[in-house]
A and B are shown apart, each in its own frame.
Chain A
Amino acid sequence: MTQETQNVLLSVEDLRTWYELRKWGFFHAGYVKAVDGVTFDLRHGQAITIVGESGSGKTTLAKTLLGLVPPTGGRMDLAGHRYDSERVKWLRFLFKQSERAAWRNKRERRTWIRAKVGFVQQDPYGALAPFMNVRKILAEPLTIHRVPKHDQEERIRAVMEEVRLTPSEDFINKYAHMLSGGQQQRLVIARSIVLEPELLIADEPVSMLDASVRVEILQLLRRIQESHDLGVIYITHDLSTVRYFSEYVFVMYAAKLVEKAEVSELIHNPRHPYTQALLTAISDPDPDNARVFKDVPKGEPPSLAHPPSGCRFHPRCKRFMADLCDVQMPVSFEPVAGHQVECWLYR
């Protein structure tokens, strides 16, 4: 157990990210709870997938972990360093010396975290500044983290080799719009690993790519993960790409992780009714599908500003149990070792 705790790269406990809703610009009018009580551990070199529909809070979770959005509550530890909600308090920063020192320390902590976490975005073209060439794009993170100029070039060539943007001479002076979609995404991956992070967060990295390059990109990510012993959080809405990648799958529904299991376990024995529905919805290229009616859950994902009481899936659930599911929030059950599910069916 001790060894396992030592091995933990990212530890998240009861993480909440709520966006405040305001009426007329200043009256408090409730929260949109985009991430609400997420708990998980990620070990060094472990790849996990977070799967969920649009609006389930996946991207907010990613942004919170990256420190782009301040969390409302909970705890995040990256390799033993905690990073919490922090806001730059403008005026106080301007006037108080002690505040300034404290802020500077916080900033240092934050840049440290940012060097340790890489980010691969969904839209590769949008993720690359249109007015920078490849060299500049890759040099920016290095410059920000004060890597000397003469070491930068070497590092840039190395990552370009790694993501197979070779020969690097052909690409290094090009602009993003001169590259194909696959090349752009490889460049985004190169940028995310140029600081040699320990954790990579990939937010739907292939959803905007042609089907032909998806597998290639996922295999590239997998190869990089293995060769650098990276922890990877792969966020997707598409269960069919999961198996290329990770050992563990978390299913996210309405700001919560409702099921956590190993990939094969989850695919063969889905426990949560929502996971079961998701798996049914996967489209395989099978001609029979044309005649089969898929039993997808009725209704729409719930509003995060006013989530349903009790289990958030209960209004769409086929195995809804009255007076339990709609009243009490389900706790985590472990029907099989290593397979956690938040559903009253497994109490």
Chain B
Amino acid sequence: MKSVLRTLKTLRQYPSAIAGLAIVGFLVGVSIYTMIAIPYSEAIRLWRGGAGVWDENPRNAAPVWYDLLTRDSLSRTIKVTSQGEGEKTITPLGDGMVRLQVTLPFDFSYDTFPSEITLYSQATYEDTRTKFSLTWVRPSGTETVLVTDRSMRSSDGYYISQDAQLQTGRVAPQIGLFSDWSLSPGDTDRVPEKGRYELILETVIPEGYEFETKLLVYGQIHGFAGTDNVRRDISVAMLWGAPLALMFGLLGAVGANVTTFVLAGIGTWLGGFVDALFQRLTQLNMLLPLLPILIMIGQFYSRSLWLMLGVVIVLSVFSASMLTYRAMFLQAKEAPYIEAAQAYGASNTRIIFKYLLPRIVPVLLPQFVLVIPAFVFLEASLAVLGLGDPLLPTWGKLISDARSADALYMGHYYWMIQPAVALMLTGFGFALIGYALDRIFNPRLRTM
């Protein structure tokens, strides 16, 4: 314990190690924050929830930091509801019917057009179709009637930006509605009009029933990581990717590397049958192809992240590093202090764990730290190969989704770059620490 503290103190002398510690510390901080702020079940809901959960997110929106790179301020999603900012006017018509007028006002002050406009409505009456008409009022005062007497179910959505009747020439509805109406359809060089817009909805509904409506003006940027092609918030996966990656890396490194280390120590010390058995197992295992086995398991059994981790650990316990450690232990076990320990009666277990293993730990530690990102990358590789966990939001899964959606080709580079940078940052952080530890524990490198 003391020696570990001493090592950490020595680490301060290496700026690269401080940078590495900062990166890893940041990742750990993000992980802790994520697991507290977005509990596991909530994360799964947000990630796998289906269309209902993602309705209010724009599709393929860029991250908000993208706004900093552009001169124009990019539009963000605006949501106006009849319960909130909207104003409701009810006029009785007799015969048990009322005329309802809902005004949905909102301020638009961005330099770019919204990506989509959708109006959702929700009414308490059933089976009855009613008709409604919509009027769009621009800041300049010009009005456009969007629809008149459009029939509507009790729970309905009107996708204004997809209404072909509102398209003028090559100008999409959301552009036409937000720009100067007097421009000719051929004029595609438009800027949005800034100021207060209003959408006025008029309908006739049975008396005593509730009617609520919600206008969504989708922006071009959303969240710190953007959204994907099914309106999923990428930031959920970016955040949850950190604890999952760290856990996978750490468990993998502990499970595979430390077990290999301990088994190599036991085998080398006991020698004879045990040693021979471990060596044969290692030689056999080195012939087994890891990836095809994983692909087979993924195809035929399960693609659970933890199952994959388990298989990877089991298959890498008797890996080539077993032979490396064995070579080190063969040298270490001849040390006179071990003979002395035998002479004063230390048991085999005590010699292995108190005399043999601590001797090699300094060599193991840097390697161990460097193995962690290897496992993180392995998870990403598996995901890209289509063996990612179908449930969990991991960085590898993001890359995999982005690849299958041709994100780079479509220009949604943030979708693929962000998880890739996160992966590289993780690898970089651990590598910086690992190499610094290596320099501390392997004095030969110190002079170089």
Q: How far is the CA of A115 from the CA of B336 in the complex (A)?
A: 18
Task: Verify A111–B345 contact, CB threshold 8 A.
Answer: yes
Q: How far is the CA of A128 from the CA of B340 in the complex (A)?
A: 8
Q: Counting chain A CB atoms within 10 Å of each CB, which of B273, B343, B347 scores highest?
A: B343
CB distance from A200 to the nearest CB of B (A): 11
**Across-interface contacts of B342 in A (CB, < 8 A):** 68
**Across-interface contacts of A337 in B (CB, < 8 A):** none
Q: How far is the CA of A122 from the CA of B347 in the complex (A)?
A: 23
Question: Given A68-B339, A128-B337: A140 and B344 within 8 A (CB)?
Answer: yes
Q: How far is the CA of A117 from the CA of B342 in the complex (A)?
A: 12
In the complex, residue of chain B having the shortest beta-carbon distance to the beta carbon of A124: B336
**Across-interface contacts of B336 in A (CB, < 8 A):** 121-123, 126-127
Q: How far is the CA of A110 from the CA of B337 in the complex (A)?
A: 19
Q: Decide if A129 is an interface residue (CB 8 Å cutoff).
A: yes
Interface string of B208-245 (1 = CB under 8 A from A): 00000000000000000000000000000000000000
In the complex, residue of chain A having the shortest beta-carbon distance to the beta carbon of B274: A90
Task: Verify B272–A90 contact, CB threshold 8 A.
Answer: yes
**Across-interface contacts of B346 in A (CB, < 8 A):** 140, 144
Task: Verify B345–A145 contact, CB threshold 8 A.
Answer: yes
Q: How far is the CA of A195 from the CA of B345 in the complex (A)?
A: 11
Task: Verify B344–A195 contact, CB threshold 8 A.
Answer: yes
Q: Decide if B331 is an interface residue (CB 8 Å cutoff).
A: no
In the complex, residue of chain A having the shortest beta-carbon distance to the beta carbon of B272: A90
Interface residues of B in 320-373 (CB under 8 A from A): 335-337, 339-347, 350, 354-355, 358-359
Q: Decide if A141 is an interface residue (CB 8 Å cutoff).
A: yes
Task: Verify B335–A141 contact, CB threshold 8 A.
Answer: no
Task: Verify A114–B3 contact, CB threshold 8 A.
Answer: no
A-B pair number, CB within 8 angstroms:
64
In the complex, residue of chain A having the shortest beta-carbon distance to the beta carbon of B354: A140
Q: Decide if A119 is an interface residue (CB 8 Å cutoff).
A: yes
Task: Verify B343–A66 contact, CB threshold 8 A.
Answer: yes
Task: Verify A140–B359 contact, CB threshold 8 A.
Answer: no
Task: Verify A191–B344 contact, CB threshold 8 A.
Answer: yes
Task: Verify B355–A114 contact, CB threshold 8 A.
Answer: no
Q: Decide if A310 is an interface residue (CB 8 Å cutoff).
A: no
Q: Decide if A131 is an interface residue (CB 8 Å cutoff).
A: yes
CB distance from B357 to the nearest CB of A (A): 10
Q: Counting chain A CB atoms within 10 Å of each CB, which of B341, B345, B354 scores highest?
A: B345
Q: How far is the CA of A129 from the CA of B273 in the complex (A)?
A: 28
Interface residues of A in 32-70 (CB under 8 A from B): 63, 66-68
In the complex, residue of chain B having the shortest beta-carbon distance to the beta carbon of A91: B273
Classify chain A: how many residues form its interface, as a range.
20 to 34
Task: Verify B359–A130 contact, CB threshold 8 A.
Answer: yes
Q: Counting chain A CB atoms within 10 Å of each CB, which of B272, B350, B354, B355 scores highest?
A: B354
**Across-interface contacts of B272 in A (CB, < 8 A):** 90
Q: How far is the CA of A315 from the CA of B163 in the complex (A)?
A: 113
Question: Given A90-B273, A121-B339, A121-B340: A129 and B355 within 8 A (CB)?
Answer: yes
Task: Verify B344–A114 contact, CB threshold 8 A.
Answer: yes
Question: Given A123-B336, A131-B359: A114 and B341 within 8 A (CB)?
Answer: no
Q: How far is the CA of A128 from the CA of B336 in the complex (A)?
A: 8
**Across-interface contacts of B354 in A (CB, < 8 A):** 140
Task: Verify A126–B337 contact, CB threshold 8 A.
Answer: yes
Question: Given A140-B346, A141-B345, A144-B350: A119 and B340 within 8 A (CB)?
Answer: yes
Q: How far is the CA of A300 from the CA of B341 in the complex (A)?
A: 34
Q: How far is the CA of A90 from the CA of B359 in the complex (A)?
A: 26
In the complex, residue of chain B having the shortest beta-carbon distance to the beta carbon of A66: B343
CB distance from A105 to the nearest CB of B (A): 15
Task: Verify A131–B345 contact, CB threshold 8 A.
Answer: no
Q: How far is the CA of A140 from the CA of B335 in the complex (A)?
A: 17
In the complex, residue of chain B having the shortest beta-carbon distance to the beta carbon of A188: B340
Interface string of A9-47 (1 = CB under 8 A from B): 000000000000000000000000000000000000000
Interface string of B249-290 (1 = CB under 8 A from A): 000000000000000000000101110000000000000000
**Across-interface contacts of A115 in B (CB, < 8 A):** 344-345
Q: Which of A67, A118, A129, A195 lies in contact with B337, CB distance below 8 A? A: A129
**Across-interface contacts of A140 in B (CB, < 8 A):** 341, 344, 346, 354
Task: Verify A68–B343 contact, CB threshold 8 A.
Answer: yes
Q: How far is the CA of A117 from the CA of B344 in the complex (A)?
A: 8
**Across-interface contacts of A63 in B (CB, < 8 A):** 339
Task: Verify A191–B340 contact, CB threshold 8 A.
Answer: yes
Task: Verify B359–A117 contact, CB threshold 8 A.
Answer: no
**Across-interface contacts of A111 in B (CB, < 8 A):** 345
Interface residues of B in 132-170 (CB under 8 A from A): none
**Across-interface contacts of B270 in A (CB, < 8 A):** 90
CB distance from A67 to the nearest CB of B (A): 8
Q: Which of B274, B335, B339, B345 lies in contact with A144, CB distance below 8 A? A: B345
Interface string of A124-164 (1 = CB under 8 A from B): 00111111000000001100110000000000000000000
In the complex, residue of chain A having the shortest beta-carbon distance to the beta carbon of B355: A129
Task: Verify A126–B344 contact, CB threshold 8 A.
Answer: no
**Across-interface contacts of B359 in A (CB, < 8 A):** 129-131
Task: Verify B343–A114 contact, CB threshold 8 A.
Answer: yes
**Across-interface contacts of B343 in A (CB, < 8 A):** 66-68, 114, 117, 119
Q: Counting chain A CB atoms within 10 Å of each CB, which of B273, B337, B342, B359 scores highest?
A: B337
**Across-interface contacts of B337 in A (CB, < 8 A):** 126-129
Q: How far is the CA of A121 from the CA of B337 in the complex (A)?
A: 9
In the complex, residue of chain B having the shortest beta-carbon distance to the beta carbon of A133: B2
In the complex, residue of chain B having the shortest beta-carbon distance to the beta carbon of A25: B276
Q: How far is the CA of A123 from the CA of B358 in the complex (A)?
A: 20
In the complex, residue of chain B having the shortest beta-carbon distance to the beta carbon of A131: B358
**Across-interface contacts of A131 in B (CB, < 8 A):** 3, 358-359
Interface residues of A in 75-133 (CB under 8 A from B): 90-91, 110-111, 114-115, 117-119, 121-123, 126-131
Q: How far is the CA of A131 from the CA of B441 in the complex (A)?
A: 13
Question: Given A129-B355, A130-B359, A144-B350: A110 and B340 within 8 A (CB)?
Answer: no
**Across-interface contacts of A128 in B (CB, < 8 A):** 337
Q: How far is the CA of A118 from the CA of B52 in the complex (A)?
A: 78
7 inter-chain pairs at a CB distance below 8 angstroms, sorted by A residue, are A68-B339, A115-B345, A119-B340, A119-B343, A119-B344, A141-B344, A144-B346
Q: Which residues of A contact B (CB under 8 A)?
A: 63, 66-68, 90-91, 110-111, 114-115, 117-119, 121-123, 126-131, 140-141, 144-145, 188, 191-192, 195
List 14 extra interface pairs beyond A68-B343, A90-B273, A114-B345, CB under 8 A: A68-B339, A90-B270, A110-B345, A111-B345, A114-B344, A121-B340, A126-B336, A126-B337, A127-B336, A127-B340, A129-B337, A131-B3, A140-B354, A192-B344
10 cross-chain pairs, A with B, having the tightest CB-CB distances, nearest first: A114-B345, A119-B343, A126-B336, A141-B344, A127-B336, A111-B345, A129-B337, A66-B343, A131-B358, A121-B336
